[in-house]
Structures are given as C-alpha cells and as structure tokens.
Amino acid sequence: MAKFLGFGPNMEIQFSGKLGNVVGVARKDGTYYVRSMPEKHKDAKSPKQQQQRKRFGAMNKLISRLNPIIIRPIWHGTSRKLPGATLFSKANYQLFDKEGKITDYSKLKMTVGSFAVPFGMRFHNDEESEGVIRIEWSQYIKPNTYAPVKLNALAMCGDDIVLLDNQDIDEENCMAQVSLPFAKGSEVHLYVFFSGNIVPRKPTYSNSHYFHIETL
C-alpha cells in the first residue's frame, strides 16, 4: 500500500510504494520517480487502493483551493526543507476518512504561527444583521506591530470556501465582526486567525481557532 510523502515542486502528489498500477520510489539521495507496474498488475483495484486514491484526491483538491489564499502566503516558508503544501498535508491528512470525507472540522489546522491571540474568545450571531458574526474576547495583550492588528476568517460552507481577510478589530470593546456571504440557516465552519507586522512588510500569523455556526 502506498505511503503519502508530500508534494513535489509542481504540486504533484509524491508517495512511496504501490498505488494502482504505478510505484513511487524515493531514494536516500533525495531523488524521486514513479514507474509502472508489470502489465499483469495493471487492473489491480483492491479496496485499500481505492480508499487511498479517494484520500489523496480529497486532500489534493482542498490544497489546490487553499494554495493561493492560505498555504502559499502562510504555510510556505515556515520550513526550510518542506514546501507549504506538504506541511499542510502532514498536519491534516489523517482527518480524511477512506471515502475522502473530513471527519472532524474542529481539528483542521488552517494556519500555524506564533502571533498572539486574545484570551477567552467567543462568538455569536448578530441578531440585528443577517449573516454577521461577532467575535469577542476578554483580554488581548496585543504585540507591538508596525501596522494595526487584523482579524482574518476562513469560512467553509458546503463546497464554498471564502477568505475574509484584514478585518478591523475594536480594541476598546474587545471585539470584531465578519459578514458571511451565505444564505440564512447555512452551516459554516469558521477558522479565525490574527495577523500583524512584527517586522516591516512581513506579516506574522497566529494559529487558527475553529467555530461551528449556523447563520441567522
């Protein structure tokens, strides 16, 4: 059975072992190649192989959609040895089941970073404004930055993925809000993270915090 290794320089999946009618080979010198199985194994379609294909396919689809908005700007560069797509996949691959479905949205790591987040974060729907989510906190020891701290939110609703970035925060009232572009009653997986320029012209990000909501 194939073992997932990560992604290559052109975002192609890399694996070791047999997957369908091909074999992935990773050498100790860092080189990688794929070779075909002998013809007699061409039609091998065991349940385990099909499950691996579904998991690989689902992860690759998610990474492709997140790459320009989350992975490239945030994950890429956090390691000198591995590209951002590989780091993201290693952090989240185990959350995909044999059918390629996400088993626990609350455990998805959308962002990683050392930027400080507020204490006691909570959320609720703004009853006066449709689709508006209020995010509140008890205290925020804000880092010293070259620009105002911003709140960012990535929302997943069915097949839709929306990034609401660079939202202003109300420091005096310890809150911020985001307006979700989804219909009333929609189930939304919301990942909130903060960012700021601790050094000039280079934003630093926090870990993401998960909220499960239903829009009003």
Among the candidates 103, 136, 169, a domain finishes at: 103
Q: What is the CATH number of the domain that holds 170?
A: 2.60.40
Domain count, the chain: 2
Place of tokens 């992604």: 7
Note whether residue 42 is domain-resident. yes
pLDDT by position in tens, the chain (length 216): 666 677 676 666 676 777 777 787 777 666 766 777 766 554 457 788 888 888 989 999 999 999 999 999 999 988 888 899 999 999 999 999 989 999 999 999 999 999 999 999 999 999 889 899 999 999 999 899 999 999 999 999 999 999 999 999 999 999 999 999 999 899 999 999 999 999 998 899 999 999 999 987
Does residue 62 fall inside a structural domain?
yes
pTM: 0.78
Q: Are 212 and 186 in contact (CB under 8 A)?
A: no
Q: Domain containing 47: what range?
A: 3-103
